[in-house]
Amino acid sequence: MIRFLTVKNIINIIAEIGLETCFIHLTQLLQQEFSRWQSFEKMPRIASHFPYGVIELMPIHDEQFYAYKYVNGHPTNPQRGQLTVIAMGMLAEVSTGYPLLISEMTLLTALRTAATAALASQYLARSNARSLLIIGTGSQAEFLVLALKAVLNIQVVYFFDIDQRALEKFARNLMGYQIELRLCNDVKKIIKKVDIIVTATAKKGQTLILENSWLVPGLHINGIGGDCPGKTELDPAILRRAKVVVEYLQQSKCEGEIQQLDEYSCVELWEIITGKKTGRESNDEVTVFDSVGFALEDYTVLKYFYNLSKEMGIGEEIDLIPKVDDSRNLFSLLCTRHPKFHN
């Protein structure tokens, strides 16, 4: 039997432990998993591109577990009342190849993306960072803000979007979370007031939403927007000026902000976490976390919710693996389970 987690199951688990606790624990677990980077067999995600979006498979494994995620990115879906990103994932035992968990991963992807941004910000933002500007208030925005609040104690959030409905739902959803929300009409004027900038747009193609000339010393930028080849948000001059941190260089070169550069001078996140490389070196340094999402993050969140679901008794057991008395006699299932197969 395989444990199966539905959207409702995930919501019930989060409600049980609390969203803030979930972000704090998930950030800690991501730190632990990134610190053993060399234990994982890694590869860039397998992407199939279409005129209307992308469908990807994201596999990874260590000596104990194999995990993969199916995920899409279709920016025009909201025009049809559908989500831009949906995902499903699986966790399996390496020693037998047997699946342990099948789970929804649309919510889990939002959680792990936000927690990874919070983890990177611990190393790259100024230690006294308390304010941020988020550009793009779509499906990922609230998760990002609440993860950064939980981990860094962010208190003031400026928010900007060209979609009025997105602005309104963002403000409505974050009411009651003890965050000072300030609507922003001019990104350039607000930048000097914040410690962190988060970019979270989904539009494909090269869109310049942050210019190098606007930046002030000491900023940290989390570039989180949905990524693919040809999709960028930042002025390339920012990347040449800043310390740039990526998850997995081989993948980021194809899909991240750094695809705009001919030469890469980047640090991978695991190198900073393990102390091999240095994070922020001064209060005036400009830093960028060029995040595209990586399978290690999916591995971590799947394992976390698998363990929580067992502890809480939440989730279903589904019959997807045949049980036979003789492992060489698979055909016996037909003979014993349905009268039409009886002689």
**For the residues 42-49, what does the mean pLDDT come to?**
93
The answer to whether residues 330 and 322 touch, using CB atoms and an 8 Å cutoff, is yes
Place of tokens 């989500």: 83
List pLDDT tens digits, range 72-113: 988 889 889 999 899 999 999 999 999 999 999 999 999 999
Instruction: Name which of 222, 228, 56, 225 is nearest 148 in CA terms.
Output: 222
What is the CB neighbour count within 10 angstroms for residue 61? 17
Taking the domains of the chain in order of start, what are their residue ranges? 2-107+296-322, 123-294
Residues 264/224/212/188 CA torsion (nearest 10 deg): 180
Q: What is the pLDDT of residue 325?
A: 86
> pTM of the full predicted structure?
0.94
Q: Which distant-in-sequence residues (6+ apart) come within 8 Å of 65 by Cβ?
A: 91, 92, 93, 94, 100, 299, 303
How far apart, in whole angstroms, are the C-alpha atoms of residue 228 and residue 45? 11
How far apart, in whole angstroms, are the C-alpha atoms of residue 305 and residue 108? 9
- Please provide residue 275's backbone torsions phi and psi, each rounded to the nearest 5 degrees: 85, 5
The answer to whether residues 123 and 25 touch, using CB atoms and an 8 Å cutoff, is no
Residue 143 tokens read as 């998760």
List pLDDT tens digits, range 264-322: 789 999 999 999 999 999 999 999 999 999 999 999 999 999 999 999 999 999 999 98
List pLDDT tens digits, range 189-223: 999 999 999 999 866 666 788 999 999 999 999 99
Task: Select the CATH number that applies to the domain covering 2-107+296-322 from these four: 3.30.1780.10, 3.40.1160.10, 3.40.50.970, 3.20.20.80.
Answer: 3.30.1780.10
Residue 86 burial (10 A CB sphere; 0-12, 13-18, 19+): middle
Q: Which distant-in-sequence residues (6+ apart) come within 8 Å of 224 by Cβ?
A: 113, 117, 140, 144, 198, 199, 200, 291
Give the residue numbers marked as catalytic. Answer: 227
The answer to whether residues 47 and 56 touch, using CB atoms and an 8 Å cutoff, is yes
Q: Report whether pLDDT(20) > 70.
A: yes
How far apart, in whole angstroms, are the C-alpha atoms of residue 223 and residue 218? 16
The answer to whether residues 72 and 54 touch, using CB atoms and an 8 Å cutoff, is yes
List pLDDT tens digits, range 170-190: 999 999 899 999 999 999 999
The architecture that CATH gives domain 123-294 is 3-Layer(aba) Sandwich (3.40)
